[in-house]
Chains A and B, each alone.
Chain A
Amino acid sequence: MSSPFPPSSSAPGKGCLIVGQSPQKLSCLSKMTFQYPLKLISPSPASHHKSVLVFLLTYGGGLVGGDQVNLTIDVQKASKLSIATQGHTKIFKSPTPEVTTRQNLHVTIESGSALCLLPDPVQPFGESVYEQSQVFTIHEKGSLCLLDWVSAGRTARGEDWDFWRWSGRNEVWMSTDEQSKPRLLLRDNVLLDSPIVDKELNLVKKKMQGLEVFGTLVLRGPHVESLAAFILKEFAALPRIGARDFRSQEKKEKDSSIVLSHEESWRRDRLKQEARDGVMWSAAKVRGCTVIKFGARTVEGGRVWIGGMIKEEGSMVQCFGEEALMCIR
């Protein structure tokens, strides 16, 4: 006997998310489907929410070896979406190096809309194999704020970049209209693997130079323009490496008694934090996108640093609401 129900179109790990604009000019979810091991949760909408908040979750807080997650997101005209996670996305160990855990994200950002993706870092356990691909197709007037970061694993258990393989791909394509082919603006691939032939020699650990977390922040579009400009300005204002202080003792004392502006004192405190937590970062403009790469000696140090930058500038809270920033505070 044939089933009276139509065949299911959902596959394991598949999800779809569409955000549109309601007649009241509020962003609202128009579709949200997902299947194990992927889980999406969205708090009920309220008029004071500046963007739709969706939690990107997985059952058990992580992906077991071989899990595949495929999420498609469409942020329709003039709507805003924020995506957060609840804690690190754990990547559990794979039975063999051939079993790959995958997470694919396809996002379309239409004209005037904005996506803020500020998750917790991915935490690959020892002997895990992980591939992540995030492809964003943005309309000329769409905005994107993307944070992608990875940690050294369970450092409390002595793990230090002990996975078998980790690869992350972030692509930004720009579309002007529906007919023409999207143009590649940015392709940021990071590939980390250690050859398993030699167990004693962990090449990834050596390459990471004592960093416990490494991340990339990509900014593009009108909604994040002021944040991008702020970070580029802070990068240009970094003290020169290897510079010496030629001031006399008297001059130093005189200078230290001057009351600093808020900006200057914030910068001074941030520089202290950077030195304390071994934060190393650089920022650059790449074909209309602003790319910030950073590493820190502790995950917490990295979180404090990136959170501090975004909060100090302030436009993200105004645009997406406090909730969007919950993973970095």
Chain B
Amino acid sequence: MSANLDSSPSREAVRDEIQHLQRRLREAEARLRGTTSSQDAIPKVLASDGPLAASSQHYLLLLSDSALPLGSFAFSSGLESYLAHTRPKSSFPDFLDFSLSSYASTTLPFVLGAHRDPTHLIELDDALDAAIMCTVGRRASVAQGRALLSIWDRSFAEARPAGSSLDVVTCLKDFALQLRATSSAVSSAGPVVSAHLAPLFGAVASILGMSPQQTAYVFMLSHVKALLSAAVRASIFGPYHGQKVLASTDVQKGIQRAITREWNTKVEDAGQIVPVMDLWIGRHEMLYSRIFNS
């Protein structure tokens, strides 16, 4: 992550580094005095080491884990439909580029908005629901959002870090309650609470103490990982090539570019920057054979 975007975590990292160096200095001095034998220098319990010690980093790893049961593997975000529409001229790098910028421009402002102020979760969820123009995309977003809400409810809620504010937690609880209440009484204008992934991800990450930079990066990286996993399963390329793309500087720069572009975008100004994406995703239902849900 670039230095200007990432001021607070880098300061944190520097602080950790200072602690680390101080400890090494003490150890070296102790060795010099010869008061401790070399065997005693190895600590019995692995000392917390480096920036991974902070609990936010722990949750960062949990949220970026592909084993996080969101069900993302079931969705290809239009990749399958793109392949069917553009064969034989399909190009995965092109699609990745389109998908990154389109996903960021339509959802990232909601992630960041919810991260900044999780108490507005219901309004953000409603605004995102009004901005999704296709059934398939809505289904994918809601399925993953509900899964994240369940993960929060059943797994994360009790382990939340000590510093997290209580009203944000109650806000998520209210959200879950309202979701259950509306799903039984669906009005013609649509339910107020639908539990889309983007705002929920921002709110959960905010409670878990992740910085907005980390949240945005993990959110976008998870999208890329889901796309690559879908590409491997759609036999575009093998798993090694998939990892190669994932590790490439192109992907890193692409994510960074998308985040920079949307960093200050207001929720009302979020919009589609690749209009054809709506067509591809919307026409996924028209495919004769499908292996994904979107």
Contact = CB atoms under 8 A, between A and B. Distances in A.
Main SS at interface, chain A:
strand
Interface in B124-175: 126-127, 129-135, 138
Given A284-B133, A287-B190, A291-B133, A241 B287 contact: yes
A240 interface: yes
Interface centre among A187, A192, A214, A283 (most CB of B within 10 A): A187
Given A174-B189, A242-B288, A293-B278, A207 B130 contact: no
A238 B272 CA distance: 25
Contact of A185 (B189, B273, B289): B189
Contact of A187 (B85, B127, B278): B127
Interface residues of B, number: 37
Contacts of B289: 242
Nearest to A285: B135
A240 B286 contact: yes
A293 B277 CA distance: 11
B271 A207 contact: no
B275 interface: yes
A190 B189 contact: no
Given A184-B127, A284-B282, A287-B190, A295 B133 contact: no
Contacts of A240: 286-288
A299 interface: no
A193 B201 CA distance: 28
B133 A238 contact: no
A186 B127 CA distance: 8
Given A187-B127, A191-B105, A286 B271 contact: no
B274 interface: yes
Contacts of A216: 133
Interface in A164-189: 167, 169, 174, 183-189
Contacts of A286: 130, 132-133, 138
Given A208-B276, A287-B130, 8 more contacts: A191-B271, A193-B273, A207-B275, A214-B276, A282-B282, A282-B283, A286-B133, A288-B189
Interface of B: 81, 84-86, 94, 98, 105, 126-127, 129-135, 138, 188-190, 268-276, 278-279, 282-283, 286-289
